[in-house]
Structure 1
Amino acid sequence: MPGGIALYLLLAITAFSIVALALFHSHLKLKISYKRIENNDIITLAASAFFGIIKYKAELPFLDFVKKMDNFAVRFRLRLKSGKEIQDEIRFKRIESLDELLSSLDDMMSYYRLNKKAIKYLAKKAQIRDFCVYSAFGFDDAYITGVMYGILYTVIVNFLAFIKAHIDLYIKAIDLKPVFNKEVFHIMLNCIIDIKIGHIITALRMFIKTSRGSEIDGTTYSRTYENNYGKY
């Protein structure tokens, strides 16, 4: 009988280890698609996880998406080895003025400096695949259209070069089409963000330890962060 119990225990531990390993190595994939034709904006989000077992897809007008994000909050709870429990909430808020934008950028830089290690870890582990931009735009003045084409192309190329220096970025296509002597603006943007669940869990622990002060490694941090996107 004791041998049978030991066998069942060994099988249970083995099964748990396999599940934990599979969870760590499973991927979270987020496909983002944005499309603007004339005055209609549509954003599509499709997420899949755990080898495609869990799937979610939503398609919303962009303004509706912004409104939903304005009321979106993430709550988390963490119990430390000492028995102390940490609870917090990240709430997103829409920016409605230049002052709020500048304040938010300043707070985001402060947050980046505070959590630089965790953010760099996430960026190193994430991939952006099948990135493509298709756009047709134009103005009544052909000269302005030509100038804007050059400026826009330069900005996009340099921005993507900056992103590629920090994240694995695979560009599928960049297609900008100037339309002369006609006022028009169409754009379509697609990409897939891919990251392992295990890396997200590791980064989340790093965020919590840095921003709240964790007894997990015997160090103490007590700085809080608050901006227009929420409170940490």
Structure 2
Amino acid sequence: MMGILIIIGIFLFIILYSNLKIAINFTRYHEDDVITMDFTALYGIFKYTTKIPFIDLVKGHNEIPALEVKTEVELGKNERHIGDNKSIVNIHEIENIIKKYKRLYIRYKTLITHIREKLIISNISWVTEFGTGDAAETAIITGVIWTIKPGLISLVCNRYNSLDIFVNVVPNYNIKTFETSIDCIFRIKLGHIINAGLKTLLVKIKDGVKNE
């Protein structure tokens, strides 16, 4: 019996102190935009990847502007492909989604705040290659981009614990081009998520008892 309890204790310790890693990458190469999100937990045992390689502005039902989104999903260390999905979301549906998430934020604000305080940005990288075809224009705009980028990065990093930050702008004086790649890795211990969830649940239960 004692041996079983020890094994359970070790297993719980491993879970609570393991990290959930969320890696987000946005890449724009020529006319292609790709968003990739990787979720890794339990020291790499669990891995879930979703890719959005295609987002386009189209005309939906009744000529209402809409976004056509293609999604690819992969699971496991070997990134086994498990499905594709293509959907069209019009402007009204986007508004409803935003309203829904606002309500969820208000409802679970305590949980979200607790997780945000424990969240660590272990790596953030933003590299841009830019060129207008004119060397003088490229030099000026490159300077402007260099001015804007650190400010945008600081807005994000000031709200989180940040470790490694890399920003670069590569001017291309020969051709007209715009390519950018943003990589961001978040880490949080599963124990913090479980703790925040339990606290939120207890608050909801107490509120329910008070309202009775």
Normalising to structure 2: TM-score of the pair?
Answer: 0.67
Moved more, 11-20 or 120-129: 11-20
Q: Give the number of the structure whose residues are more often strand, by fraction.
A: 2
> Whole-Å Cα distance in 1 between the matches of residues 173 and 93 of structure 2?
37
- Alpha-carbon distance change, 111 to 144 in structure 1, aligned in 2, over 3 angstroms: farther
Match of 2:116 in 1: 123
Check the 8 A contact 2:53/2:71 in 1, yes or no.
Answer: no
What letter is aligned with 2:44? G
Contact (CA 8 Å) 1:139, 1:183: kept in 2 or not? yes
Q: Give the aligned partner of residue 67 of structure 1.
A: 70
1:165 aligns with 2:161: no
Secondary structure of the residue aligned to 2:207 is coil
How does 1:30-45 map onto structure 2 within 5 Å? 30-45=22-37
Write out aligned runs for 1:26-175 (5 A): 26-57=18-49, 61-63=53-55, 66-68=69-71, 96-97=90-91, 108=101, 111-140=104-133, 145-146=138-139, 148-175=141-168
* TM-score, normalisation: structure 1: 0.62
**Distance between the aligned counterparts of 1:140 and 1:129, measured in 2?**
36
Which consecutive residues of structure 1, in runs of 5 or more, have no partner in the other structure?
A: 1-7, 70-92, 222-232
Between the aligned partners of 1:29 and 1:203, the Cα distance in structure 2 is: 17
Distance 1:120 1:11, change over 3 A: same
Instruction: Give deviations 1:155-189, integer Å, cap 9, x for gaps.
Output: 32122212222111223310112334742111122
For the aligned residue pairs, the C-alpha RMSD in angstroms reads 3.6
Local SS of the residue matching 1:17: helix
- The alpha-carbon distance between structure 1 residues 184 and 52, as it changes in their structure 2 partners (threshold 3 A), is same
Q: Distance in 1 between matches of 2:180 and 2:152?
A: 17
Matched residue SS, 1:52: coil
Instruction: Tell me which amino acid in the other structure corresponds to 1:155.
Output: I
Pairs aligned (count): 185
Q: 1:220 aligns with which of 205, 208, 211?
A: 208
Give, in angstroms, the shift of residue 192 of structure 1: 1.6
